[in-house]
Structures are given as structure tokens and as C-alpha cells.
């Protein structure tokens, strides 16, 4: 009987532990948010990105830069420069708000005096949330070769080689599918 109870307890803990540690499927580059590429002329493009709710502003800026490199290569260019137009300068991190937990039904002191009180360590802590969705936009000017590009232009191939793999892009700018987990 003792071994049966021990076996059931172990089996239940393995079952619940296995569910808690199951990794989610990684997102592809196209699933990280919403992209918009607007051609302004044959060499100038407006790249916009609206991030998913759980993404930081810095990560969204980096993904937008990778999208600009991908667009540059897809349009037959190699170098691009982020133009210093007024719409790029006005971008700021999203507004944030502090949210406090709802007050409890019972007075605060009641829980402190109750013998079965087990305090929640995170109950009284406020949370910081983003009020606005994170949006980043760049206007880029593309160039065919390094001679025609200004000295501060980005090399799209170098960006995709260094950052593309982090977000699921090949060095050529193609979206890579995440590896399928196989069980042996």
C-alpha cells in the first residue's frame, strides 16, 4: 500500500511537472508583430513595425532594423541609411502606467490577525504596464553599392548575418521555419 501511494504521488508530480515545462513553439520572424513596407520611390521606403504586447521597445527597434535590412536586399540593394526625418525623431517608448491591486474585501488588519493567514508576497506590489502598443517606423534610403552609399550607411548583409539568425532569418533575408521537435 505504501508503494502504491508513493507511486501515485510520483506519477502525479511527473505529470504536472511535465505540463509546466513544455516549451511553447518559437515564433517565426513574420509572427513577431505586424510589418508594413511602403515604397516612397524606387530607393526610399517606410518600414513600420507594431510589436506584440510582451516585447520591449529596444527589441522592437532592433526588429525594425532587421526588417529594413531584409527589405533592402529584397529590393536589389545592399546598403541603406536611416533618414533623419521628423517622424523618426518623434518616436518615444510607449507610455506606461502603474496599476495597483484591488483592495481586499476584508480590512487589511483582519488578515494579519487571522491564525490561518499566509501573506501573498506580491499582493501589495504595483505593476507597470504599457498603455500604448509599441510602434517603430523608419524611413530608409537604399543604395546599390558602397561607392554610392554615404559613410554612415548600414550594410544589409552584415545586419542579417549578425542579427538575422536571432529572429529567424537567413543571411539572405528568407524567413526560416523553427525546427520541429522530434521525440525519440
The secondary structure of 152-171, three-state, reads CCEEHHHHHHHHHHHHCECC
% pLDDT > 70, the chain: 69
- Nearest CA among 54, 40, 62, 51 for reference residue 142: 40
% pLDDT > 90, the chain: 34
Total domain count, the chain: 1
Whose cell is 515545462? That residue is 21
Residues 153, 81 contacting (CB under 8 angstroms) = yes
Looking at the domain assignment, is residue 109 inside a domain?
Answer: no
Looking at the domain assignment, is residue 140 inside a domain?
Answer: yes
Please tell me the pTM assigned to this model: 0.70
- CB-side neighbour CA atoms (13 Å) of 170: 8
Confidence of residue 84 (pLDDT cuts 50, 70, 90): confident
Looking at the domain assignment, is residue 138 inside a domain?
Answer: yes
Average pLDDT over residues 76-85: 90
The boundaries of the domain holding residue 42 are 27-100+125-173
Per the prediction, the chain carries an average pLDDT of 80
Looking at the domain assignment, is residue 160 inside a domain?
Answer: yes
Looking at the domain assignment, is residue 79 inside a domain?
Answer: yes
Looking at the domain assignment, is residue 34 inside a domain?
Answer: yes
Per-residue pLDDT for 157 more than 60?
yes
Looking at the domain assignment, is residue 181 inside a domain?
Answer: no
Looking at the domain assignment, is residue 13 inside a domain?
Answer: no
Amino acid at each position: 500500500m505504501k508503494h502504491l501511494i508513493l507511486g501515485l504521488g510520483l506519477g502525479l508530480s511527473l505529470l504536472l511537472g511535465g505540463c509546466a515545462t513544455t516549451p511553447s513553439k518559437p515564433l517565426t520572424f513574420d509572427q513577431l508583430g505586424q510589418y508594413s513596407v511602403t515604397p516612397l520611390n524606387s530607393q526610399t521606403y517606410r518600414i513600420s513595425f507594431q510589436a506584440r504586447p510582451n516585447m520591449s521597445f529596444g527589441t522592437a527597434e532592433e526588429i525594425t532594423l532587421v526588417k529594413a535590412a531584409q527589405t533592402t536586399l529584397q529590393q536589389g540593394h545592399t546598403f541603406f541609411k536611416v533618414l533623419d526625418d521628423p517622424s523618426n525623431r518623434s518616436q518615444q517608448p510607449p507610455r506606461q502606467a502603474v496599476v495597483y491591486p484591488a483592495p481586499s474585501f476584508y480590512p487589511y488588519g483582519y488578515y494579519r490577525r487571522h491564525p490561518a493567514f499566509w501573506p501573498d508576497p506580491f499582493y501589495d506590489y504595483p505593476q507597470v504596464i504599457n498603455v500604448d502598443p509599441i510602434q517603430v517606423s523608419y524611413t530608409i534610403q537604399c543604395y546599390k553599392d558602397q561607392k554610392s552609399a554615404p559613410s554612415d550607411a548600414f550594410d544589409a548583409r552584415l545586419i542579417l548575418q549578425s542579427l538575422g539568425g536571432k529572429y529567424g532569418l537567413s543571411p539572405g533575408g528568407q524567413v526560416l521555419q523553427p525546427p520541429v521537435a522530434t521525440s525519440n
